[in-house]
Amino acid sequence: MSIAEIGNVAYLPPVSAQAFEARAQAGAPADFSSWLTAEVDKVNGQLLAADKELRELALGGTQNLHQVMIALEEAKLSLQLMVQIRNRALEAYQDILRMQI
Amino acid sequence: MDYFAAFAISGSGMATEKLRLDVTAVNIANANSSRGQDGALFRPLRVVSSMRRDIRFETALRAYGVALGGVQVDEIRPTDAPPRALYEPGHPDADARGYVTLPGVNPVAEMVNLIVATRSYQANVMAMNAAKFMAQRALEIGGTR
Amino acid sequence: MGLTELTGVTGSMVKLALDTASLRHLVIASNIANANTPGYVPMRVEFEEHLSAAARTGEYGARLGRSVASAVVGDPSGFDPLQARVQLDVEAAQLAQNTLQYQALLRGLRGHMEMLQIAISEGRT
């Protein structure tokens, strides 16, 4: 995102109660696995975007240095969280397997 | 932090003020030159500058309807300051009445220009250092690895 | 809140403020570089007024048009003749304030992300 796009606050997520409800109803996932798949795709998109910004930095210098750094850091956090979710899900699965019937 | 743009702006400012300084030095040095190049008397020079519209800043700021950019030197123009006459009959360049025509360089004005150019140069250096500092801080997002 | 929106509204606001501080630096640098350019009128960036207006209504998602951060040219009408000329000491003060603001935003964002990091890794490094 270059400096030219500061003009719009619209990309900030809505904070008011009605806006939250509207968002929750609009995008309510059916179950955990479909939610997780969607999130994995989003994290992947975020990683790709961060990668693209890094390439832009390498090629010609970016118009927005802090944006590149923040994108990299956020992508890292999202990936870490996703890995943790994967670990917990695996642990839960293994716990269930070990259960004596 | 668009450090490229920031360095370009401040760099252009530094270059222009440095040129102003040099031109002022030329004026002061030639204040007592009774003989100029090609016979014409030396005329004090002035640096004429205008805002530089760089293509980089155009794309970033077209949305705001304001042009932003550094500074560029249009020309170094000789001024029409009236020459001064010095009474010195023994001088090789004295005219029939004994007066020598010298360039109309006002030493006070030139000293003021010198100080202004120096201060402006320092201010541009300060701006460039600030940009460098901010960019370095931005690199530290994510902590020390 | 999905995995890609960890920094949330705070992160978005900080990014917006960082972009504005960057723009503000370019404007100050341009003012300083053109301090001795005849006819140049110094510029300012107006931002915080617009953002606090958005904060009061509570709807950050509302569109404020293109004027959230605007680079405004000083008043050349002549009512305040000092405004129509670049004054280096004013620019220096603006520069110091803006630089500190940028640094503070970065430091705050870093702290915010470190907290998220701790939460994600459950305190284990």
Say if C97 is an interface residue toward chain B (CB within 8 Å): no
Say yes or no for a CB contact (<8 Å) between B57 and C26. Answer: yes
Binning pLDDT at 50, 70 and 90, where does residue A7 land?
A: very low
Name the average pLDDT for chain A. Answer: 79
pLDDT surpasses 60 at B64:
no
Instruction: Check pLDDT > 80 for residue B119.
Output: yes
Domain count, chain B: 1
Q: Per-residue pLDDT averaged across B84-91, rounded?
A: 88
Q: Which helix H or strand E contains B36, and what residues bound it? A: none
B144 inside domain = no
DSSP letters for C25-67: HHHHHHHHHTTT-TT---EEEE-HHHHHHHHHHT-TTS--TT-
Number of domains composing chain C: 1
Using a cut of 0.80, tell me whether the model's pTM lies above it: yes
Chain A nearest-CA residue for B61: A4
Q: Is B128 among the domain residues?
A: yes
How far is the C-alpha of B77 from the C-alpha of C74, rounded, in Å?
Answer: 29
d(CA A42, CA A49): 10
Residue C73 confidence (pLDDT): 62
Q: How confident is the model at residue B63 (pLDDT cuts 50, 70, 90)?
A: very low
Q: What is the rounded CA–CA span in Å between residue B58 and residue C28?
A: 16
How confident is the model over A44-76, as pLDDT tens digits? 999 999 999 999 989 887 778 999 999 999 999
pLDDT band at C68 (very low <50, low <70, confident <90, very high): very low
Q: Is the pLDDT of residue B118 over 50?
A: yes
Residue B52 lies in a domain: yes
Residue B131's domain comprises 3-80+107-139
The dihedral through the CA atoms of C64, C66, C68, C70 has a sign that is: negative
* Residue C21: CB atoms within 10 Å: 25
Segment C4-15 shows an average pLDDT of 84
The answer to the question of residue C79 being in a domain is yes
pLDDT for position B55: 59
Output the pLDDT for position C60.
Answer: 46
* Residue B24 domain flag: yes
Taking CA–CA distances from A76, the nearest residue in chain C reads C117
> Does B7 reach chain A within 8 Å, measured CB to CB?
no
Contacts of A69 in chain B (CB under 8 A): 138-139, 141-142
Instruction: Inform me whether the pLDDT recorded for A80 exceeds 50.
Output: yes
Residue C17 pLDDT class (50, 70, 90 cuts): confident
pLDDT of residue C116 exceeding 50: yes
Chains with 3 or more CB pairs under 8 A to chain A: B, C
Tell me the ipTM for this assembly: 0.86
C-alpha dist (Å) from residue B133 to A53, A77, B10, B128, C21: 22, 26, 14, 9, 13
Q: What is the mean pLDDT of chain C?
A: 77
Q: What percentage of chain C carries pLDDT values higher than 70?
A: 67
Query: Closest residue of C to B138, CA-based?
Result: C106
Q: Which residue has the higher pLDDT, C70 or A78?
A: A78
Return the ∠ at Cα B15 (arms to B13 and B20), rounded to 5°.
95
User: What distances in angstroms separate CA C18 from CA A101, B7, B31, B71, C110, one per listed residue?
Assistant: 58, 18, 51, 25, 13
Check whether C66 has a pLDDT greater than 70.
Answer: no
Please report the pLDDT score of residue C57 as a whole number. Answer: 56
Domain-embedded: residue B100: no
In this predicted structure, what is the pLDDT of residue A19?
58
Cβ distance of B2 and A70 shorter than 8 Å: no
Least confident of A10-24, B22-36, B98-112, C54-68: C54-68
